[in-house]
Structure 1
Amino acid sequence: MKQMLVSLKGKRMSRSQVFRRVGAVSATGVALILGVAPVANATWSSYIENWGIGSKSRLWNDQSYTQTHFTKCSTSYSSSSVDVRLYRHRQNDEPVAYDIKHFTQCMYWSDGDDTSTGVWTGLPAGSYYFQIKGIDGFDSGSEPRLAVREVIQDTTLAD
């Protein structure tokens, strides 16, 4: 049986050598992707448009530490504040509630500091989301509504 040879950058290799090399490169690529994937999913950004009291963010996986940043907020009322509460989602059970953060700085764009940040620490591993608990002093009802130009959910402690 004739052995097939393949040329790779001027080097002649047998088919089995090529497959071994491709396999090693593929395994390295998979290891790199798997090593980076959790970091890529740790921090995400989005925006909020027309949210009311009780609106919830998407879920994300986290442990130990998380920050929620709201940049350039406005409401359909006085644009003075928004209250944000963090929850740990539990399948088939009530969520665990963490303290409420009172955001005001994101409402005032003219002073150059237009971001409010909530920080929660000591979190067990799990799935988390935040919920709008109050807008402009209201804690129930369909008004006022909230808009946030940028929301950044940051789970990396190295900031």
Structure 2
Amino acid sequence: MSKVKRMTAIAGITSSILLAVAPAAHADDPSWRSHWDDAHIAQESHSWLDSNYTEINYTHCDSNSDVSTHVLLWRKLDYQPDPTFGSKRFTQCFSGSNGDWTSTGTYSGLDAGAYYFSVQYIDDHFYSDSTLDVTTVYVDTTKAD
């Protein structure tokens, strides 16, 4: 088995295990709050229903190099590949510059449906042994903030 296939298999197994023990959230919850300990690349969040706008917030992040993380938004579809809506690079939650430790990624113009996000990069690496801790992971679907 090639190194890439082995890494992909390990990431998939790890994601499955982490999802099995992750705190529960209902798919119809428009907003939810949680945390991540030792998250890995390709780890997936809970899913939620949305009809236009999603805001993903990370507060107080920690990783091996404390550089950045990227999140990738997906739409959950049945019987076909889930489309992605692009990634957002989070750095503010690592640095806390100006006293603000929150990184925010926003997506708008979304079709109604179930969505989730995954960790795409940790410390700017796609393949890495790095893990990610986030004190607060918060998804908000109300644009009124």
Q: Which residue of 1 aligns with 2:136?
A: 150
Query: Which protein has the bigger strand share?
Result: 1
- Identity, in percent, stands at 37
Answering whether residue 110 of structure 2 is matched by residue 123 of structure 1, we say yes
Q: Which moved more, 1:145-154 or 1:105-114?
A: 105-114
Q: Which residue of 2 aligns with 1:84?
A: 71
TM-score (norm 1): 0.72
Q: Which residue of 2 aligns with 1:12?
A: none
Distance 1:87 1:110 in 2: 29
Distance 2:82 2:124 in 1: 24
Match of 1:71 among 59, 64, 83: 59
How many residues get paired? Answer: 118
Distance 1:149 1:130 in 2: 17
- Structure of larger gyration radius: 1
What residue identity is the alignment partner of 1:47? H
SS in 1 for 2:73: strand
Runs of at least 4 residues off by over 6 Å: none
Structure 2: 5+ residue runs without aligned partners?
1-27
SS in 2 for 1:123: coil
